[in-house]
C-alpha cells in the first residue's frame, strides 16, 4: 500500500444546469467565468469553455433528463474547474470507440467527446447501453496539472445537489488525511472554505442565541477510544477521515449548519470518529444541528472505524462480491441531542469502497445492479449513485472513498 493520496480538499461555487435549450451557452459562460476568476489565462479559459460547451451540447442531443455540474475544486496549492454530466440517455456500448473523432450517433462531425478528452487534464466516463452516461472532467493550469498528476487521483470525492427550488444545499462532505506528517502539513496549507453569505434569517437573529465566543473548535480529543485503539497523541497510522453532514431541513439555515460542521471538521484536532463528532457537536450548538457520520479508513490495516448520529447512510461496498454492509448510526441530532457515542471497527475487503449519503438518496440501490461502480473514480461513482438513487424533493449528497486497500 503506497501513501494516501490527498483528496480534492474543497469544492466551491457549485452550479447545476438542468437539460434546457440554453444549457450549452449557459454552461459555457459559467465555465469561462469560473476559470478566469481562479487565474486561468485566456487560452486555458477558452479551452475550458469549449470543452464544457461540447459536454452541454452532447446532453442536449443525446441525453434523457440530463444535468451538468460546474464547480471550482481546490488542493492545498491549486484551484481547478470540474465538470460533471449525468444522464439517463441511450448510453455507449464502447466508450473508447466513442472518444474517436468522427464517431457520431446523431449525424454530426463526432468531435465532441474527443475534444473534451484532449482539453481536459483528467476524464473518466461510465456508460451503459440503455442506462445512461456519467462523465467527469477536470481542468488545471499547466503547472497545476503536473502537481495534480504527481498526487494521482483523489481517493475520495463527493457531490451535493440542493432540493429543487433552492440554490444552497444542506448536505456537505469533507475529508482529511491524518497520521502522515507530510500530508497533514499540506492540509494545513489548504485555503479556508468561504462562509455562506450573511442571511437575514440566520438562526441567531431568529432565536437571540449566539454561541459563546470561547466555544473553541480545537479542543483536544478526549473522548474514550474504542478498546485497543491507539491514543490520538501517539497515533501515527496513516488514515483518511471522511465526514458527512446533513443539516436539518433545507435552504439557507441548513446550509449554514452544514458549513459550520465542515469548518469544525477541517479545523479540528480529533483523529477518531467519535472525537470528530464531539467537536462538531460543540460547533453546532445554538443552530439547527444535523445528522453527522464520520469514518476513519486505515489502508495499511484495511480497517474502517465508524461513528454516526442521525440519518446518514453509510455502507462498505465489496465490489468483487457485489454486496454492501451497512454501518448504523445512533438516533439523535448533533448540536442538540447527542447519544452516547460509540465507534464500530470493521475489516475492509480488498478493492472495497466506503459510501456515505443523505436521505436525499434512497437506500434501494444495490452494487450488483450498478456494474463498474467502483471501477471508476470516486467522483464518477458518486455521480452514478446520485443518478440512480437521488430524489428531487430533498437536498441530496453522496461521498465515495476508494483506494488501493
* pLDDT, greater one: 237 or 353: 353
The residues that bridge with 292 in the sheet, in sequence order, are 245, 309
- 3 state DSSP class of 312: coil
Which pLDDT value is given to residue 96?
76
Is the per-residue pLDDT at 155 higher than 70? yes
Grid look-up 457515542 returns 341
What percent of the chain shows pLDDT beyond 90?
64
pLDDT-derived band at 223 (thresholds 50, 70, 90) equals very low
Mean pLDDT of the chain: 84
Is the per-residue pLDDT at 395 higher than 70? yes
- Among residues 15, 14, 96, 98, the alpha carbon closest in space to that of 58 is found at 98
Is the per-residue pLDDT at 403 higher than 80? yes
pLDDT-derived band at 319 (thresholds 50, 70, 90) equals confident
* Mean pLDDT on 65-87: 93
Rounded Cα distance, 271 and 305, in Å: 11
CB atoms under 10 Å from CB of 138, counted, come to 22
155: left (phi over 0), alpha (psi -120 to 50) or beta: alpha
- 3 state DSSP class of 387: helix
* Mean pLDDT on 218-240: 53
* Mean pLDDT on 202-206: 35
- For residue 336, the Cα-to-chain-centroid distance in whole angstroms is 26
Which pLDDT value is given to residue 224?
44
Rounded to 5 degrees, φ, ψ at 194 are -70, 130
Burial class (CB in 10 A: 0-12, 13-18, 19+), 242: buried
pLDDT-derived band at 101 (thresholds 50, 70, 90) equals low
Residues 6+ apart with CB under 8 A from 1: 299, 300, 404, 405
CB atoms under 10 Å from CB of 130, counted, come to 9
- Among residues 96, 82, 95, 85, the alpha carbon closest in space to that of 35 is found at 82
Is the per-residue pLDDT at 180 higher than 90? no
Which pLDDT value is given to residue 359?
96
Contact between 245 and 233 (Cβ < 8 Å):
no
Which pLDDT value is given to residue 197?
44
Is the per-residue pLDDT at 188 higher than 80? no
Q: What is the pTM of this model?
A: 0.84
Rounded Cα distance, 202 and 195, in Å: 13
Residues 6+ apart with CB under 8 A from 95: 125, 127
- What is the gyration radius of the CA atoms in the chain, in angstroms? 21
- Among residues 334, 341, 316, the alpha carbon closest in space to that of 401 is found at 316
Which pLDDT value is given to residue 78?
93
Which pLDDT value is given to residue 206?
31
Contact between 284 and 211 (Cβ < 8 Å):
no
Amino acid at each position: 500500500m503506497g501513501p494516501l493520496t490527498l483528496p480534492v480538499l474543497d469544492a466551491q461555487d457549485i452550479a447545476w444546469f438542468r437539460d434546457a435549450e440554453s444549457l450549452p451557452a449557459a454552461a459555457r459562460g459559467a465555465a469561462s467565468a469560473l476559470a478566469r476568476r481562479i487565474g486561468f489565462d485566456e487560452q486555458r479559459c477558452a479551452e475550458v469553455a469549449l470543452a464544457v460547451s461540447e459536454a452541454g451540447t452532447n446532453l442536449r442531443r443525446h441525453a434523457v433528463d440530463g444535468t451538468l455540474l460546474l464547480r471550482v475544486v481546490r488542493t492545498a496549492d491549486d484551484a481547478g474547474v470540474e465538470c460533471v454530466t449525468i444522464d439517463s440517455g441511450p448510453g455507449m456500448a464502447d466508450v473508447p470507440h466513442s472518444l474517436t473523432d468522427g464517431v457520431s450517433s446523431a449525424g454530426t462531425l463526432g468531435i465532441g467527446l474527443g475534444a473534451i478528452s484532449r482539453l481536459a487534464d483528467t476524464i473518466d466516463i461510465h456508460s451503459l447501453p440503455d442506462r445512461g452516461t456519467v462523465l467527469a472532467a477536470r481542468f488545471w493550469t499547466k503547472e497545476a496539472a503536473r502537481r495534480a498528476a504527481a498526487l494521482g487521483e483523489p481517493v475520495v470525492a463527493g457531490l451535493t445537489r440542493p432540493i429543487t427550488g433552492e440554490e444552497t444545499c444542506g448536505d456537505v462532505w469533507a475529508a482529511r488525511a491524518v497520521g502522515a506528517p507530510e500530508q497533514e502539513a499540506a492540509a494545513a496549507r489548504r485555503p479556508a472554505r468561504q462562509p455562506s453569505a450573511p442571511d437575514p434569517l440566520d438562526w441567531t437573529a431568529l432565536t437571540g442565541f449566539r454561541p459563546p465566543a470561547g466555544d473553541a473548535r480545537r479542543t483536544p480529543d478526549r473522548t474514550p477510544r474504542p478498546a485497543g485503539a491507539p491514543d490520538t497523541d501517539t497515533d501515527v497510522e496513516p488514515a483518511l477521515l471522511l465526514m458527512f453532514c446533513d443539516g436539518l431541513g433545507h435552504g439557507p439555515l441548513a446550509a449554514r449548519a452544514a458549513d459550520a460542521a465542515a469548518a469544525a471538521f477541517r479545523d479540528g484536532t480529533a483523529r477518531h470518529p467519535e472525537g470528530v463528532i464531539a467537536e462538531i457537536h460543540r460547533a453546532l450548538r445554538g443552530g439547527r444541528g444535523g445528522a453527522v457520520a464520520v469514518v476513519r479508513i486505515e489502508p495499511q490495516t484495511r480497517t474502517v472505524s465508524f461513528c454516526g448520529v442521525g440519518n446518514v447512510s453509510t455502507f462498505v461496498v465489496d465490489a468483487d462480491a457485489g454486496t454492501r454492509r451497512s454501518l448504523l448510526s445512533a438516533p439523535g441530532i448533533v448540536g442538540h441531542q447527542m447519544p452516547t457515542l460509540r465507534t464500530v471497527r470493521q475489516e475492509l475487503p480488498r478493492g472495497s469502497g466506503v459510501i456515505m449519503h443523505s436521505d436525499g438518496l434512497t437506500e434501494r440501490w444495490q452494487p450488483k445492479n450498478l456494474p463498474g461502480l467502483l471501477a471508476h473514480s470516486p467522483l464518477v461513482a458518486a455521480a452514478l449513485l446520485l443518478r440512480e438513487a437521488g430524489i428531487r424533493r430533498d437536498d441530496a449528497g453522496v461521498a465515495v472513498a476508494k483506494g488501493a486497500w
